[in-house]
Amino acid sequence: GIPFESEAQLREKGSAKTPDVVLSCPIGIQVGSQWRQVGWIDSKALYGDLETHRQSVLPQAESYVHRFGPGMILYFFGHAPISLLGDAKGDLVIASWQLPDSFLWPTGAI
């Protein structure tokens, strides 16, 4: 597995706002034909509609991008079309119950 720090561990270290998981070593996730780097994951037990995403989730995710680099939001109940959701200028992967098919592990294995 990949070592990570949980939200609770990050809070113990003094981080006020944290995603669910910060990976100790980023992974690559294939989105379409492009590989995107992911260093943290935050799950949302809701449907990612446009209003909620733009007004609540995206600002929160952008603060994580500033602290931890590119990451992924995982919506448990799906989301609006990706083309309509903001992706923090390319630093955010948005997924739902249908996770990306390919991951690039720190070892170089796919």
Q: What pLDDT, in 10s, does the model give residues 41-66? A: 999 999 999 999 999 999 999 999 99
Place of tokens 């995982």: 74
Residue 4: CB partners within 8 Å, gap ≥ 6? 21, 22, 23, 24
92-96: long-range pairs with CB below 8 Å, 24+: 92/58, 92/61, 92/62, 92/65, 93/29, 93/31, 93/36, 93/38, 94/48, 96/48
Q: Please give the average per-residue pLDDT across 92-103, as a whole number.
A: 86
- pTM (two decimals): 0.92
**Both structure tokens of 69:** 């680099």
In this structure, the number of other CB atoms found within 10 A of the CB of residue 45 comes to 8
Amino acid identity of residue 93, one-letter, is V
Residue 75 is predicted with a pLDDT of 96
Tokens 């991008």 sit on residue: 65
Residue with tokens 């600002």: 59
